[in-house]
Amino acid sequence: MKRQFIVFCLLNFALTALSQKNPYQVKFSYQIEKEVADEKIRSSKAGLLYSLIGDYHNSNLYSDIAVSWGVDSLNFNDYKTKDALKEICEKAKNHRIVIISENHLKPQHRIFATKIIKELAGYGFNHLGLETFMSISNKNSLLDSMLSVRGYPLDSPLTGTYTLEPKMGVLVRKAIYLKYNLFAYEKTEKIKGKDRDEIQADNIIRYLNNNPNAKVIILCGFHHAIESDLIKRGNSYWMAKYLKDKLEIDPITIYQDNFTEKFIKNEHPLLGTINIDKPSILIDSLGEVVKISHQVDFEVIHPKTSYIDGRPNWLFESEKYKAVKIKLEDFDIDFPIIVSAYPFDEINSVPVDRIELKHKYDRKPLVLKVGKYKISIYDGARTYEYIQTVE
């Protein structure tokens, strides 16, 4: 145990030092496009890189998946919509396991997941597993062992891959603030006869066995939340199915992507006929939640994105979020630039917002909650910083 602790400390020291020397794990859009053209990266990686610089539209133009399990052919004309958050939490509060699926390139899914995590904390949920967390082995131990002590994710792969995206960083901060115990469950080692999803499930089960009183939320990507006997490939199932069968516990499963706007594939026709301003679910004439399929318990409908000064409207989560113009007049800057906003008291953290400005007429704002921030402007060679208070 002592040796393992020393290894953890050395890894944290080395990788934190690495993040200090190379604080920008991001690329400019022209660099992303060149790497795509040179076939150095795939479209999915391009989508991820665009998400890290706050370019929601281009991120999803590179990577999307189709509406799944035939729900695009169903008729929902006889149903109404209702606030999803309240209905999901009311159903989930008496369960032990809640599984939330996201599209990794749609930060609005993380914003909604953060709200679920906050609400369920009031019902005894106190453990959170993220697919993105880096771990040393299939033992649930975070590679970033100081994460909960520090209170925020590093702008480094030490914490994870998707934690480099601002809204995932906000989710992690909120979970730590709410006293969630964080753990990893992603497959890190091959196990003969088991595919990724079964290894994920086994890792979660190991964690539950070590924490018998835990009420757990699992955040995963895409189809890992499927709890039915739908075959993944060959004779393999998805993570939630393995978890359900091996534990003999029925989890609450939440899928967000079927009823979210699509950029490459055809989006669900329902999105063109309803008018909602918050994540919603369908209810029937009796007010009961519509069970759309056997794959998951809830399918969340997200409003289509509109833009305010070039930024997605869902970034303005409440009246506490403000559009903040970048102060460029005091600096001799070469464009393009990447602008990042960090909570004032954090060091080497994931920003809470980040954008690319391609030229001097590009005036997209940061979207920040009321508070004090360090604003960093990076032009590829130099970094300029100033303090910004948002009131």
Residue-wise pLDDT tens digits, 190-201: 999 999 999 999
**Selection from 339, 338, 251 nearest residue 296 by Cα:** 251
Asked if residue 25 is part of any domain, the answer here is: no
Q: Are residues 232 and 353 in the same domain?
A: no
Q: Which of 257, 284, 305 is the last residue of a domain?
A: 305
Asked if residue 31 is part of any domain, the answer here is: no
Range 284-292 average pLDDT: 94
Q: Retrieve residue 307's tokens.
A: 């833009």
Asked if residue 158 is part of any domain, the answer here is: yes
Q: Retrieve residue 34's tokens.
A: 């060149």
Q: Are residues 287 and 389 in the same domain?
A: no
Could you give phi then psi for residue 3, rounded to 5 degrees? Answer: -65, -40
Q: Considering the chain, what is the average pLDDT of its residues?
A: 92
Range 244-272 average pLDDT: 96
pLDDT band of 3, cuts 50, 70, 90:
very low
Asked if residue 111 is part of any domain, the answer here is: yes
Q: Are residues 333 and 298 in the same domain?
A: no
How many domains does one find in the chain? 2
Q: Are residues 288 and 326 in the same domain?
A: no
Q: Are residues 137 and 183 in the same domain?
A: yes
pLDDT band of 7, cuts 50, 70, 90:
very low
Residue 21 has pLDDT above 70, yes or no: no
pLDDT band of 39, cuts 50, 70, 90:
very high
pLDDT of residue 138: 75
Range 325-346 average pLDDT: 94
Asked if residue 239 is part of any domain, the answer here is: yes
pLDDT band of 22, cuts 50, 70, 90:
very low
Q: Are residues 252 and 158 in the same domain?
A: yes
**Selection from 44, 71, 117, 78 nearest residue 274 by Cα:** 78
CB 62 within 8 A of CB 47: yes
- How far are the Cα atoms of 19, 48, 58 from residue 383, in angstroms, in the given order? 15, 23, 25
Q: Are residues 151 and 286 in the same domain?
A: yes
Range 86-92 average pLDDT: 97
pLDDT of residue 330: 85
Asked if residue 312 is part of any domain, the answer here is: no
Q: Are residues 166 and 193 in the same domain?
A: yes
Mapped onto helix, strand or coil, the DSSP state of residue 194 is strand
For 144-183, what is each residue's pLDDT tens digit? Answer: 999 999 999 999 999 999 999 999 999 999 999 999 999 9
Domain range for 377: 318-391
Q: Which of 283, 305, 327 is the last residue of a domain?
A: 305
193: domain CATH number is: 3.40.50.11550
For 183-238, what is each residue's pLDDT tens digit? Answer: 999 999 899 999 999 999 999 999 999 999 999 999 999 999 999 999 998 899 99
C-alpha dihedral sign at 90, 91, 95, 97: negative
Residue with tokens 């590093």: 154
Instruction: Give residue 251's identity as a one-letter amino acid code.
Output: P
Q: Are residues 377 and 329 in the same domain?
A: yes
Task: Tell which wins on pLDDT, 14 or 292.
Answer: 292
Range 239-245 average pLDDT: 98
pLDDT band of 8, cuts 50, 70, 90:
very low
355: domain CATH number is: 2.60.40
Asked if residue 39 is part of any domain, the answer here is: no
Q: Residue 333: which residues within 8 A CB-CB, separation 6 or more?
A: 377, 379, 384
Residue 23 has pLDDT above 80, yes or no: no
Asked if residue 32 is part of any domain, the answer here is: no
Range 334-340 average pLDDT: 96
DSSP state for residue 315 in the 8-state scheme: G
pLDDT over 70, % of the chain: 94
C-alpha dihedral sign at 211, 133, 197, 195: negative
pLDDT over 90, % of the chain: 89
Q: Which of 280, 305, 330 is the last residue of a domain?
A: 305
pLDDT of residue 279: 98
pLDDT band of 129, cuts 50, 70, 90:
very high
Q: Are residues 262 and 369 in the same domain?
A: no
Q: Are residues 88 and 159 in the same domain?
A: yes
CB 255 within 8 A of CB 296: yes
Q: Are residues 85 and 197 in the same domain?
A: yes
pLDDT band of 286, cuts 50, 70, 90:
very high
Predicted model pTM: 0.93
